[in-house]
Amino acid sequence: MLQTKLGIPALTIYKPNGTVVPEQEMKRSALKSAVQIGLIAVACWNVVGFTSMVLKLPSRGVHHIVGWEKAWEPIHLWLKGVGYDVGDIGYVTARSLRGEPPSEIENVNRAELYYVVIPLNLVQNRSDTPYLLGDFTAGRPTELPPGLVEISEPGNGLVLLRNTLIR
């Protein structure tokens, strides 16, 4: 029986062919197993961390763009129904109809709506388009200018206007 330097019986491991496994090979095997267990532990830690981070994210409906997409949908369906899928669509607000410069929030709204209305091209300060999108989320104008007729008003602050001066 093999013994260690302290007189304790040593663990003897035999290969399938009956020879004794050297101590260095046993250490290498133990180290390899420890590294594999460590890698599995780190992978599990990362999965748990990622999952907990994803669960803390706000729902998709909280994002501004999603709100604009929902507000735009009924107007978009109406425009598709009349065959106006691609082209320019004017952008007006109550302030712009009064001749005032846009506010910061109106600039932000326009930039977000610019993305939402694709493939239409949202253009500001142009009244030569057949349709105009009225962003009246900050308030409605007291009256519309001559030539603009309200076509669709889904009740969310966006209003589709038809320019009757354009044929």
Instruction: Kindly list the distances between the CA atom of residue 6 and the CA atoms of 2, 3, 20, 22, 90, in Å, as whole numbers in the listed order.
Output: 11, 8, 21, 19, 91
Report whether 13 contacts 26 (CB < 8 A). Answer: yes
Report whether 116 contacts 158 (CB < 8 A). Answer: no
Give the model confidence (pLDDT) of 99-132 as tens digits. Answer: 899 899 999 999 999 999 999 999 987 878 999 9
88 pLDDT higher than 90: yes
CB-facing half-sphere around the CA of 63: CA atoms within 13 A: 9
Mean pLDDT of 60-64: 68
Which residue's entry shows tokens 């001749």? 99
**For residues 48, 51, 53 and 57, what is the CA-based torsion angle, rounded to 10 degrees?**
-170
Q: What is the end-to-end Cα distance of the chain in Å, rounded? A: 105
Handedness of CA 112, 113, 116, 121 (dihedral sign): negative
- The pTM (predicted TM-score) of the whole model is 0.63
Give the model confidence (pLDDT) of 28-40 as tens digits. Answer: 888 899 999 999 9
Residue 19, pLDDT score: 75
pLDDT band at 61 (very low <50, low <70, confident <90, very high): low
Tell me what the pLDDT averaged over the chain comes to: 86
Residue 161, pLDDT score: 94
CA distance 67 to 61: 7
Residue 129, pLDDT score: 93
Report whether 162 contacts 124 (CB < 8 A). Answer: no
